[in-house]
Amino acid sequence: MTSETRRLQLFTGKGGVGKSSVVAASALAAARAGRRPLVVELGHRATMATVFEAPAIGHEPTEVAPGVHAANIDFDEALVDYVAEHAKVRALARRIVRGDALRRFFHAAPAVSEVVTLRMLERLEEATVRGESRWDPVLVDLDATGHALMFLSLPEVFADLATRGPLARLLRGFTALLSDHERTALNLVTLPDELPAQETRELHAALRAKGSVPLGRLFINRVPAPPVSEPTRARYAELERAGWDAEVALARRLESVHERATAIADRLERELELPTLRLPVLEPFDLHQLATHLGGAS
């Protein structure tokens, strides 16, 4: 099984690298291929409604493009879902969660939000309809690298604190899901610039050292295309003699940008040894065009 066919697709990357756009375009590409993608963003994020130009996205999956659904995991609703697994009656679970004392406790207690979020992701990945996976793939727009690494480490962090009972079983389930090479892939999104590239190297090294979450693909976003063709480049001297000095100087600067970006991308691909997709600069940005590029490269 290749990484892109796994049902749970996690995405992270340094802020500003275009991660949410890559997630959304990947979902569009999956829908075009006949799959049933669900995009999931965490409750404090609210970017997918803008990316898809759709109405506000709530806790329940909503269709945001043909064949593409999206959901925003709301902490309170995810907590109700979690409590309902044990209380069995959803109305009772809602009353428990909304009681003033317990509500304050749930919001103040460390990692409660992360635990119920992980449980929600597990339920979405496991959901079936008539014997088939309801969502395939589930694409999760995680936070930037540092927060994502902390989030993915929670089952391991809590493993020694809960060794028996329902919480221990729950954490074992998370660990099994996040480490399953048949079900889960963590994709890294970056840019061909030094700072995001270095942060990606550091994240990759930390993940390799932990050896827990299986890595998927490396997406190098906004890689500039060659600014001029080879025949035009060969005519630079001729063009300068003809008075096109400023234009040739601009072309040379753009070539330098392209060469630097290509060198960074080459080094990342060589060092990380992950299946790599280089995505073009799109001006103006077009999500459907990016999805076409992703679909053709899959």
Above 70 in pLDDT, residue 247? yes
Above 80 in pLDDT, residue 253? yes
pLDDT for res 97: 56
pLDDT for res 91: 60
- Residue bearing the bigger pLDDT, 167 or 247: 247
The answer for residues whose C-beta is within 8 angstroms of residue 103's C-beta and 6 or more apart is 97
Three-state SS letters, the chain: CCHHHCCEEEEECCCCCCHHHHHHHHHHHHHHCCCECEEEEECCCCCHHHHCCCCCCCCCCEEEECCEEEEEECHHHHHHHHHHHHHCCHHHHHHHHHCHHHHHHHHHCCCHHHHHHHHHHHHHHHCEECCEECCECEEEECCCHHHHHHHHHHHHHHHCCCCCHHHHHHHHHHHHHHCCCCCEEEEEEECCCHHHHHHHHHHHHHHHHHCCCCEEEEEEEEECCCCCCHHHHHCHHHHHHCCCHHHHHHHHHHHHHHHHHHHHHHHHHHHHCCCEEEEECCCCCCHHHHHHHHHHHC
Is 256 part of a structural domain of the chain?
yes
Closest by CA to 142, choosing from 230, 62, 207, 54, is 207
Is 84 part of a structural domain of the chain?
no
Whole-Å CA distances, 59 to 14, 41, 80: 25, 10, 12
Length of the chain counted residue by residue: 298
* Residue 132 pLDDT level (bands cut at 50, 70, 90): very high
Q: What is the pLDDT of residues 46-96, one digit of tens each?
A: 789 999 998 889 989 999 999 999 999 887 777 667 666 665 555 655 665
Whole-Å CA distances, 175 to 39, 109, 169: 22, 21, 10
**Mean predicted confidence (pLDDT) in 252-257:** 93
* Residue 32 pLDDT level (bands cut at 50, 70, 90): very high
Above 60 in pLDDT, residue 157? yes
| pTM for the structure as a whole | 0.88
Is 103 part of a structural domain of the chain?
no
What is the b/e burial string over 276-291, where b = at least 16 CB atoms within 10 angstroms of the residue's CB?
Answer: bbbbeebeeeebeebb
Tokens of 66: 């043909």
Above 70 in pLDDT, residue 286? yes
Is 229 part of a structural domain of the chain?
yes
Domain count across the chain: 1
pLDDT for res 102: 53
* Residue 140 pLDDT level (bands cut at 50, 70, 90): very high
Q: Domain residues for 164?
A: 3-75+121-297
Mean residue pLDDT of the chain comes to 85
Above 90 in pLDDT, residue 292? yes
Is 161 part of a structural domain of the chain?
yes
Is 213 part of a structural domain of the chain?
yes
CB of 278 within 8 A of CB of 265?
A: yes
Is 139 part of a structural domain of the chain?
yes
Above 90 in pLDDT, residue 6? yes
Is 127 part of a structural domain of the chain?
yes
Q: What is the pLDDT of residues 188-205, one digit of tens each?
A: 999 999 999 999 999 999
Q: What is the CATH number of the domain that holds 163?
A: 3.40.50.300
Instruction: Give, in degrees to the nearest 5, the angle at Cα 254 between 251 and 256.
Output: 110
Positive or negative, the CA dihedral 263, 267, 269, 270 is positive
